[in-house]
Amino acid sequence: MEIRNMYKNLGISDEVYNFAIEAEKDLLERFSGIDEVAEYNQLKVIKAMQNNKVSIECFNQSSGYGYDDYGRDTLEKVYADVFKTESALVRPQITCGTHALALALMSNLRPGDELYSPAGKPYDTLEEVIGIRPSKGSLAEYGITYKQTDLLKDGSFDYESIKKAISEKTKLITIQRSKGYQTRPSFTVKQIGELIAFVKNIKPDVIVMVDNCYGEFVDIIEPSEVGADMVVGSLIKNPGGGLAPIGGYICGKEECIENAAYRLTSPGLGKEVGASLGVMRSFYQGLFLAPGVVSSALKGAILAANIYEKLGFAVVPDGKEERADIIQAVTFGTEEGVKAFCRGIQAAAPVDGHVVPEPWDMPGYDNQVIMAAGAFVQGSSIELSADGPIAPPYAVYFQGGLTYPHAKLGIMMSLQKIIESGVAKLG
């Protein structure tokens, strides 16, 4: 009863509370399976830290050039161990996921090379990196061409067309694990592994990069364990565990990482420079917490899928499907539905919970975007957040939740706003 009163104090009506609790009861067995994956990944992270002799000295601060930064260098060994790769680049100087992806691409492609996506359109912010939408410094400006093969109608890979598309010019293949602002399914590590095996059979020397954003620790293996030459992501998503204040990572083959390091800093300098500036403790502790945090976000996504599916909205993935990432797409079909959902997520936030989000012209997107993110770290989408473009089919993308109780509150609050706005009815 005390818990119920707390929800009531936060603005959750009896009908919304009861609807959500009934949906949750059916999910407890599935949540147990998620806990098992989190336990495995927790042990994996601890073992990597022990293997590389992480010590209190790793948390010391460096400045200036950052030469001989023991904590930075050890952390990169830990990431390489966790992701089972030859090398890793993990830096606060990598500002976000888009920056990490751009860095991986620009450092491993040369004029005349071709970048190829066998998984259709990339995430919106990569369109300007590639040059699909013209932008200063794009790959297109450097004479790097791009082509893609769209997915089949069921969201699967068009293997016949992929085989025809790969040519001598194809230097790097990019695979986006998560759905981005699309309502297609995200790809499991198993599916990614099958695609990598297929393209490597056609062109063994092609570099395969996987955009791993939102997918880390969802499974007990990562794309780097099924043939990816590089996996790339953001530390203010899954692997930062909610503590990393900035940063990105690239894990992969030694040569690919070396190229990225020289591009990030300077030819001749590479990984030798780059001060840690006092963020190492947050990076290490965030990675340590990440498996548990990801499990909380997954539980929230599954609860959201089941609740909105029961109300008749299209959800991807659906309430029973295997999870490939922490993102839950819900298609409302109306602008008001997207707005109401995001306002509910914002109203559940510990930071800026009093703010009402509105659509705006966000850099890197060709439509207005509404974002709900009352986060301790600006833009951190491992924290409870939701966003979506104000354009058909009017879908919202929900992710994050450092704790399951917070994710649960956010879903209830989103439902409360949806009901109050008249977008849907209960019963």
Evaluate whether residue 50 is within a structural domain: no
Q: Is 55 among the domain residues?
A: no
What CATH number is given to the structural domain containing 221?
A: 3.40.640.10
318 plus 407 within the same structural domain: yes
Q: Is residue 54 part of a domain?
A: no
Same domain, 254 and 174: yes
For residues 229 and 359, membership in a common domain is answered with: no
> 293 with 267, same domain?
no
Question: Residue 32: is its pLDDT beyond 70?
Answer: yes
Q: Examine the domain organization and report whether 173 and 211 are in the same domain.
A: yes
Tell me if 52 is assigned to some domain: no
Looking at residue 219, its amino acid is D
Residues 170 and 315 in one domain: no
**H-only helix segments in 64-206:** 70-82, 97-108, 124-130, 159-165, 189-202
Percent of the chain with pLDDT over 90: 95
The reply to whether 396 falls in a domain is yes
Residue 211's SS3 state is strand
Number of separate domains in the chain = 2
Q: Structure pTM?
A: 0.96
Residues 304 and 408 in one domain: yes
Mean pLDDT across the chain, nearest whole number? 96
Which of 213, 246, 278 delimits the end of a domain?
Answer: 278
E-only strand ranges, 17-102: 87-91
Q: In what order do the strands lie in the sheet with 248-252?
A: 87-91, 248-252, 230-234, 207-211, 170-176, 114-117, 145-148
Specify the CATH number for the domain of residue 30: 3.90.1150.60
72 and 145 belong to one structural domain: yes
Structural domain includes residue 427: no
Among candidate residues 291, 263, 218, the one with its CA nearest the CA of residue 103: 263
- Provide mean pLDDT across the span 160-186: 94
* Residue 190 scores a pLDDT above 90: yes
Same domain, 105 and 133: yes
Rounded percentage of the chain residues whose pLDDT exceeds 70 = 100
According to the model, what pLDDT value does residue 211 have? 98
- Confidence bin at 1 (pLDDT 50/70/90): low
- Taking residues 151-167, report their average pLDDT: 96
pLDDT, residue 371, reads 94
| Confidence at residue 184, expressed as pLDDT on a 0 to 100 scale | 87
Two structure tokens written together for 272? 């030798």
pLDDT in tens, 263-304: 999 999 999 999 999 999 999 999 999 999 999 999 999 999
**Do 333 and 234 fall into the same domain?**
no
Range of the domain at 338: 2-42+288-420
Q: How confident is the model at residue 260 (pLDDT cuts 50, 70, 90)?
A: very high
